[in-house]
């Protein structure tokens, strides 16, 4: 009898572990979606700088949001860069967890508890910032790639489902650039990934500024 009771409790415990956690409700999604972009704009601004970039992944919220921006002029040796990334858990998922834990918490209270990491670099602390800054201004914006042109002629279309959103903001000769890219193999997105890796490499050599 004792063995049967132990076996019963063991099976019950295993079944309990196998049960999924309560899923987010539509109201939870609606609440976070309502506030997410305003929060992201506040935590990871990327405009009003010489060159700024920010990205996040649509739907796949386990991928960390990140941003960086450059200010100054490398020819006057005053170029600097700020690099930010969500700390271990995406901003979106942090917001969801905090909201579900206490739904009456205001967005201002939730913002105060969100965790991101930040680094600030100069040309001396991270020489790659000058290299990447100059690379950006050598990019050219192709309105339609040769692949897309040939695909269209063949009657083939490509759709990116829930892509990583790449946003750029830059002061350029004679004006201002505001650009959003959703294809990861686009030259601008490739530059952003290369720059992220370069900044991340510099970040590994120093502690972040606490946020």
Tell me the pTM.
0.82
pLDDT tens per residue across span 93-128: 999 999 999 999 999 999 999 999 999 999 999 999
**Pairs from 182-191 (Cβ < 8 Å, separation ≥ 24):** 187/139, 187/140, 187/142, 188/139, 188/141, 189/164, 191/132, 191/135, 191/136, 191/139
Low-confidence spans in the chain with pLDDT less than 70? 1-23, 145, 157-161, 210-211
Predicted confidence at residue 14, as pLDDT, reads: 35
Predicted confidence at residue 16, as pLDDT, reads: 35
Predicted confidence at residue 2, as pLDDT, reads: 35
DSSP 96-125: HHHHHH-TT--HHHHHTT--EEEEEEETTT
């Amino acid at each position: 009898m004792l063995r049967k009771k132990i076996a019963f409790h063991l099976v019950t415990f295993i079944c309990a572990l196998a049960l999924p956690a309560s899923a987010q409700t539509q109201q939870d999604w609606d609440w976070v979606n309502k506030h997410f972009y305003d929060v992201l704009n506040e935590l990871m601004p990327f405009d009003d700088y010489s060159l700024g970039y920010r990205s996040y992944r649509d739907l796949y919220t386990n991928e960390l949001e990140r941003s960086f921006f450059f200010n100054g002029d490398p020819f006057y040796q005053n170029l600097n860069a700020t690099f930010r990334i969500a700390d271990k858990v995406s901003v979106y998922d942090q917001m969801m967890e905090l909201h579900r834990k206490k739904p009456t918490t205001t967005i201002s209270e939730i913002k105060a508890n969100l965790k991101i990491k930040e680094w600030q670099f100069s040309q001396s602390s991270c020489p790659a910032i000058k290299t990447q800054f100059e690379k950006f201004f050598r990019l050219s914006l192709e309105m339609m790639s040769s692949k897309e042109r040939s695909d269209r002629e063949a009657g083939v279309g490509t759709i990116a489902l829930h892509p990583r959103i790449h946003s750029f903001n830059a002061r350029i000769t004679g004006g201002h650039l505001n650009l959003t890219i959703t294809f990861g193999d686009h030259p601008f997105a490739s530059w952003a990934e290369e720059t992220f890796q370069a900044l991340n490499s510099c970040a590994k050599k120093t502690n972040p500024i606490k946020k």
